[in-house]
Amino acid sequence: MTKDQILYLCRQYLNMFGFPLRLYENGEKILYQNTMNFKADVADKCLENTNWSEDEVSYYIYNDLFYYGSVLFPPYRLVVGPVTEISYPEIELKKEGFKLGLSPSEAAVFAVEMKSVSCISLDTLLQSLILFNFTINGSMLNITDIRVNDSEQRDIACEIKETEYEESAADIFDNKIRTYTIDREIAKKIMSGDVQGLIDGATKVPAASSGHLAPNLLRHQKNFFIRLETICARAAIQAGLDADEVMEVEEMYIIKCEHLNNIDRIKNLQYHMILDYADRVAKQIKFGEKGSRMISEVSKYIRHHLSSAIKTTDIAAALGKSRGGLTMEFKKQTGMNLSDFIKLKKIQEAEELLYETDKSLVAISDHLGFSSQSHFCRVFKELKGMTPSEYREKKYF
pLDDT of residue 207: 44
pLDDT of residue 129: 94
Q: Which residues pair with 29 in a beta bridge?
A: 24
- In this structure, are 130 and 25 located in the same domain? yes
How distant, in Å, are the alpha carbons of 26, 195, 248, 301 from that of 295? 56, 17, 15, 10
- In this structure, are 136 and 246 located in the same domain? no
pLDDT of residue 150: 54
Q: Which of 304, 323, 357 is the last residue of a domain?
A: 304
Distance of alpha carbon 64 from alpha carbon 138, whole angstroms: 31
Distance of alpha carbon 11 from alpha carbon 7, whole angstroms: 6
Q: What is the dihedral of CA 142, 86, 106, 393, to 10 degrees?
A: -110
What is the number of other CB atoms lying within 10 angstroms of the CB of residue 225?
22
Positions in the chain whose pLDDT score sits under 50: 164-177, 205-208, 396-397
pLDDT of residue 169: 42
Distance of alpha carbon 373 from alpha carbon 69, whole angstroms: 40
**DSSP 8-state class, residue 39:** S
The residues, ordered by sequence, that sit 6+ positions from 254 with a Cβ below 8 Å of its Cβ are 225, 226, 229
Q: Are 266 and 226 in contact (CB under 8 A)?
A: no
pLDDT of residue 173: 43
pLDDT tens readout for residues 281-319? 887 787 666 666 788 889 889 988 888 889 999 999 999
Give the ranges where 100-165 is alpha helix by DSSP (H). 104-115, 122-137, 143-147, 150-162
Distance of alpha carbon 248 from alpha carbon 239, whole angstroms: 16
pLDDT of residue 397: 44
Count of domains for the chain: 2
- In this structure, are 204 and 102 located in the same domain? no
- In this structure, are 144 and 177 located in the same domain? no
The residues, ordered by sequence, that sit 6+ positions from 311 with a Cβ below 8 Å of its Cβ are none
Establish if 371 belongs to a structural domain. Answer: no
- In this structure, are 212 and 133 located in the same domain? no
Establish if 396 belongs to a structural domain. Answer: no
- In this structure, are 223 and 110 located in the same domain? no
Domain that holds residue 59: 3-149
pLDDT tens readout for residues 247-261? 888 988 898 888 888
pLDDT of residue 342: 92
Listed residue (231, 344, 236) closest to 298, CA to CA: 344
pLDDT of residue 179: 62
Q: Which of 119, 149, 179 is the last residue of a domain?
A: 149
Q: How far is CA 389 from the centre of its chain?
A: 26
**Pairing relationship of beta strands 21-25 and 76-83 according to DSSP bridges:** antiparallel
Give the ranges where the chain is alpha helix by DSSP (H). 3-17, 90-99, 104-115, 122-137, 143-147, 150-162, 169-191, 195-201, 217-238, 243-259, 263-304, 312-318, 323-334, 338-356, 361-367, 373-384, 388-394
pLDDT tens readout for residues 165-210? 444 444 444 444 456 677 888 888 998 888 888 877 765 544 445 5
- In this structure, are 143 and 197 located in the same domain? no
